[in-house]
Structure formats: structure tokens, C-alpha cells
């Protein structure tokens, strides 16, 4: 049976999708031209290094409003905001949506040095262990690091979650968590890789050994530098791409990668620790306590199912058939590029495949896969 798209979007606390608000053009143009760099990220599948190419692709299109349906780190939405577009960012993960609230929806709020010192660079010499220390001992971080995280979470929760400074602090803590992890993931219990007394030929250990407070403060300052006022208000949604109603001039999709063998990327499991921070009050109920690395209970995701993913594409394409459609993809994915092209041709008069060329993602076993964007227009 074909699944039906739900019609209710899931906005963040900041509200639902906004209508365009044309601001003073002189101020907006200056803000867009001077927009700063997006913070560095080590997120699996990030498009950060492809931003210059994607900007050139988007500059071929005539659009004002855009839905970034699988927003991830937010690097594409940040670039589109920089280009003066009315951006709606969406992601299924609450942690990612929180990042986007601080870096994209936020036009002006930055963290003060006092906030950075108070919430991120505090002295944890007299720790009070909490849920992280009790639950994740010996799994991802040392005891001392877990105690710092417990205290950082307590201090974060003293800030209203509706505020942009909460989102920026959350981003700083989460990015520090990622950079201190082998492979930058939470997919297995492997603290031993950090602690093993062996000769190393790579520089990751320097990052692993750098203290949490130093990393968090560095990421907080990077986040501050990414904040700017766009030409239009940006909006952030935390939900399934199939839920979101338009209209949008452009709908951009960068769905989870599904290999030809049907192996999908499960971002919820890769980053369950960050999702736990975002769902702190429900964290114990989300954990599969039989798992060695305290991952979440598994949830079905049709976007990562080889027999169902084409139906999900069709649902989104049909819902936004009046929009220009753009899909970031790899030439070794499931469904194939040709299948997606045929599907898009049901809704659009013109479908193009723009090829970037060979691009190797971290941890990918295929060094020859090519990055493409499918563009479908009337």
C-alpha cells in the first residue's frame, strides 16, 4: 500500500513557516554580501566542501523561496541565506534543527565571552556526576570528560530552549563531542582507540586530547562568526521531508545515502548521543539498554529502505510538483540516477543532470563515485 504524506509540518518552538518579509534592500544587500563563513564540520555526508559548486548550480535558477528538505549541518541553507533567499530548513534530527536555529534562523544573537566562560570553560574540578557519567562510562569519553558533559548539560538547561543563545551553546557542545570521537561518529563503543598506547601516523589524537572546554569555546566563537542578517527571515522545521507543505519556488533534497547494495546511512544511530542531548528529558526511554554503545531503539525509516525509498521520492516530488526540484545525489546510489530522472519527468518538462565529478566522502569505500545534482523545471 502506498504511504500517504502527512499534511502537518513540525515547526520548532520559534513558530511555523513564515511568509516572505522584504526588508530594507540596502541593509539586506550589505548583510548578504558580507555574510561570514559557515563553521567547520565533520558531519557524515556534509556538503560543506561542495558549497562553491552548489552555489553555481543554484545561480542558474530563478527562485526566491527555498525548502532545504534534508538540511543536515545547515551549510547549504546558510549559503542560500547568504544568497538572499527565503530559506526554510528542515531535518528529522532535533540536534540538527537546533544547530540550524542558532546558525540560520538566528539573524543577530551571538554568545558573549561571559557566556562562553560560564557555560563552556568552567572548572569541573569538583564534578557532580549525572546521567551521562552513569550511562556512558567507558564507551565514548573518559570519566572526567563525561563529568564535564554532565555539568555542561546542566548549565545549558538553565538557558531557555527558545533562545538563540541556547542553540549556539548546544552547537558548541555537540561539535566538541563530534571532534573528540574516532571517525566522528557514535556508532560503536571504541574509547580504547583514543586511549591505546600505540605509535600513530595521523593527527587525530591531537584533537582527541584537546580538552572539551577548549573545543567548545572554539566552536562557540566559530558559531558567532556565522551569524548574519539575511534578506528574508529564515525558518527551521524539525520533521519528515514528506510532511512539509509549500509553496516554495525551489525544493532542494539531499536525502540519506543508500548504496546499490541497499545499505543506508542511519544518521539517527550515527549521532544518537547528540540526539540524546537534544531530547535530554526522554533520553533514558530512547536508549536500547541491551546495546553495548547505548544507541537508540531502532526506528524504521523508509528513506533508508531500498524497496520503499522510490515511493518517498515520489511523494515529495508530487507534493511539490509546482516547485523547481533539485536533488543532490551520487551516481552509485539507490534508486539509480536514471530511475530518479524518469520519476522527475512525470512532473516536470525539463530534467537535467549536472555532474560535479569524482568526490570522496569520509569513510566511503567507493573512491570513484560522482556527485551530481538533478534539476527538474517546467
Task: State the CB neighbour count (10 A cutoff) for residue 321.
Answer: 16
- Does residue 268 contact residue 33 with C-beta atoms inside 8 Å? no
18 has pLDDT over 70: no
**Band of residue 5 on the pLDDT scale cut at 50, 70, 90:** very low
Query: Measured between alpha carbons, how far is 239 from 69 in angstroms, rounded to an integer?
Result: 9
User: Which set of grid coordinates corresponds to residue 246?
Assistant: 509549500
278 has pLDDT over 60: yes
User: Which set of grid coordinates corresponds to residue 66?
Assistant: 527555498
**Band of residue 357 on the pLDDT scale cut at 50, 70, 90:** low
Query: Measured between alpha carbons, how far is 257 from 201 in angstroms, rounded to an integer?
Result: 30
15: alpha, beta or left? (left if phi > 0; alpha if psi -120 to 50)? left
pLDDT for 13 equals 35
Task: State the CB neighbour count (10 A cutoff) for residue 17.
Answer: 18
Helix, strand, coil tally for the chain in percent (to 5): 40, 15, 45
pTM (2 d.p.): 0.87
- Does residue 292 contact residue 269 with C-beta atoms inside 8 Å? no
- Tell me the average pLDDT of the chain: 87
**Band of residue 15 on the pLDDT scale cut at 50, 70, 90:** very low
Query: Measured between alpha carbons, how far is 5 from 174 in angstroms, rounded to an integer?
Result: 32
**Band of residue 56 on the pLDDT scale cut at 50, 70, 90:** very high
Instruction: Give the closest residue to 187 by CA, choosing from 267, 270, 292.
Output: 270
Render pLDDT for 75-133 as a digit per residue (tens, 0 to 9): 999 999 999 999 999 999 999 999 999 999 999 999 999 999 999 998 777 768 899 99
b/e for 169-207, b at 16 or more Cβ within 10 A?
A: bbbbbbbbbbbbbbbbbbbeebbeebeeeeeeeeebeee
98: Cβ–Cβ under 8 A, 6 or more apart, which residues?
166, 167, 170, 171, 278
| Structural domains for the chain | 25-108+228-266+301-377 (3.40.50.150), 113-226 (no CATH)
pLDDT for 74 equals 96
User: Which set of grid coordinates corresponds to residue 25?
Assistant: 534592500
Tell me which of 17-26, 95-104, 253-262, 327-336 is least confident: 17-26
257: DSSP letter: P
Strand partners, 67: 88, 251
Query: Measured between alpha carbons, how far is 164 from 14 in angstroms, rounded to an integer?
Result: 10
Q: What is the mean pLDDT of residues 202-231?
A: 93
User: Which set of grid coordinates corresponds to residue 241?
Assistant: 521531508
264: DSSP letter: B
Phi and psi of 249, rounded to 5°? -70, -40
Locate cell 536555529: which residue?
101
**Band of residue 258 on the pLDDT scale cut at 50, 70, 90:** confident
Render pLDDT for 285-343 as a digit per residue (tens, 0 to 9): 999 999 999 999 999 889 988 889 999 999 999 999 999 999 999 988 899 999 999 99
DSSP 303-335: GG-TTTHHHHHHHHHHHTTTSEEEEEEETTBSS
Tell me which of 13-22, 189-198, 311-320 is least confident: 13-22
1 has pLDDT over 60: no
pLDDT for 201 equals 63
Higher pLDDT residue, 262 or 366?
Answer: 262
pLDDT for 109 equals 98
Amino acid at each position: 500500500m502506498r504511504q500517504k504524506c502527512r499534511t502537518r509540518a513540525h515547526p520548532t518552538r520559534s513558530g511555523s513557516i513564515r511568509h516572505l518579509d522584504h526588508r530594507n534592500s540596502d541593509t539586506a544587500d550589505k548583510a548578504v554580501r558580507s555574510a561570514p563563513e559557515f563553521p567547520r564540520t565533520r558531519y557524515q555526508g556534509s556538503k560543506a566542501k561542495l558549497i562553491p559548486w552548489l552555489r553555481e548550480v543554484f545561480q542558474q535558477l530563478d527562485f526566491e523561496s527555498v525548502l532545504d528538505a534534508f538540511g543536515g549541518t545547515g551549510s547549504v541553507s546558510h549559503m542560500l541565506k547568504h544568497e538572499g533567499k527565503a530559506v526554510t530548513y528542515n531535518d528529522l534530527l532535533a540536534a540538527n534543527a537546533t544547530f540550524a536555529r542558532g546558525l540560520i534562523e538566528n539573524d543577530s544573537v551571538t554568545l558573549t565571552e561571559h557566556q562562553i566562560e560560564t557555560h563552556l570553560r568552567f572548572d569541573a574540578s569538583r564534578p557532580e556526576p549525572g546521567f551521562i557519567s552513569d550511562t556512558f562510562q567507558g564507551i565514548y569519553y573518559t570519566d572526567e570528560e563525561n563529568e564535564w558533559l554532565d555539568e555542561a548539560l546542566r548549565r545549558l538547561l538553565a538557558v531557555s530552549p527558545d533562545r538563540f543563545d541556547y542553540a549556539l551553546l548546544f552547537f558548541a557542545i555537540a561539535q566538541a563531542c563530534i571532534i573528540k570521537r574516532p571517525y566522528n561518529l557514535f556508532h560503536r563503543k571504541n574509547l580504547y582507540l583514543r586511549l591505546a598506547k600505540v605509535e600513530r601516523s595521523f593527527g587525530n589524537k591531537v584533537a582527541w586530547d584537546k580538552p572539551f572546554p577548549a573545543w567548545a569555546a572554539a566552536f562557540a566563537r566559530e558559531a558567532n562568526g556565522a551569524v548574519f542578517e539575511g534578506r528574508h527571515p529564515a525558518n527551521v522545521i524539525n520533521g519528515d521531508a514528506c510532511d512539509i507543505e509549500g509553496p516554495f519556488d525551489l525544493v532542494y533534497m539531499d536525502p540519506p545515502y543508500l548504496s546499490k547494495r541497499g545499505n543506508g546511512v542511519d544518521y539517527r544511530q550515527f549521532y544518537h548521543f547528540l540526539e540524546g542531548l537534544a531530547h535530554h528529558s526522554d533520553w533514558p526511554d530512547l536508549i536500547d539498554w541491551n546495546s553495548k554503545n547505548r544507541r537508540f531503539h531502532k526506528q524504521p525509516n523508509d528513506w533508508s529502505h531500498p524497496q520503499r525509498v522510490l515511493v518517498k521520492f515520489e511523494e515529495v516530488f508530487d507534493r511539490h510538483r509546482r516547485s523547481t526540484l533539485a536533488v543532490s545525489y551520487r551516481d552509485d546510489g539507490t534508486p539509480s540516477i536514471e530511475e530518479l530522472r524518469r520519476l522527475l519527468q512525470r512532473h516536470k518538462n525539463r530534467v537535467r543532470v549536472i555532474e560535479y565529478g569524482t568526490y570522496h566522502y569520509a569513510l566511503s569505500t567507493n573512491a570513484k563515485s560522482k556527485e551530481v545534482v538533478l534539476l527538474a523545471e517546467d
